Copies of this chain bind each other. A is one copy, B any other.
Amino acid sequence: MYLNLDAIDAKILFYLQKNAKMPIKEMSEYIHLSESAIHARIRNLEERGCIKNYVAVLNKSMVNKKLTSFTGLQLRTHTQYNLITSMELISKFPEVINCYMVNGDFDFLLHVAVADMQEYHSFFSNALLKVKNIETVKTFFVLDESKADNRIDLSRRSRMRH
């Protein structure tokens, strides 16, 4: 089951998703709650596994990964063995930053980050196409990211507003 988070927990998680190193003092001013209460709640959220971990997010263009894509893969034969072994192999490619098994037109959807088109070509030819049982590959190059921070909205906004 999931945790029942109140409005204060949601606010804490909002700030932590934006800045994991926000001083508790600062957060306590935003939320209008004492530092000790904030601290206790954060520890609670960590202990109950609501917060998975804290990570550094890199600036892709500064680490020479200017080209990203979503790449859909379809396998030829769909045995359990094929799916698992392909997924394991694909996940190990250094260019693949995320690998999802999906339903629909593709079996896998990969999030790929490379330096440039030449590197993508190399990845495509030397890695992807050498995976056994690949039927089709379809690439969606990312042209623009209007939102790409992976933040989960926990405010209880109703769908009715739209």
A interface residue numbers (CB < 8 A to B): 2-3, 5, 13, 16-21, 48-66, 69-70, 72, 87-88, 90-91, 93-106, 109, 111, 113, 119, 122-123, 126-127, 130, 138-155, 157, 159-160, 162
Contacts and interface: CB of A to CB of B under 8 A. Distances in A.
Interface SS, A side = mixed
Given A57-B52, A152-B65, A104 B138 contact: yes
Contact of A3 (B63, B94, B141): B63
A145 B102 CA distance: 9
Given A97-B150, A159-B123, A56 B51 contact: yes
Given A51-B56, A58-B50, A152-B113, A144 B100 contact: yes
Instruction: Give the copy number.
Output: 2
Nearest to A70: B109
Contacts of A55: 16-20, 54-55, 57, 149-151
Contact of A127 (B59, B152, B162): B162
Contact of A60 (B21, B97, B141, B152): B152
A109 B146 CA distance: 11
B50 A102 contact: no
Nearest to A9: B63
B58 A98 contact: no
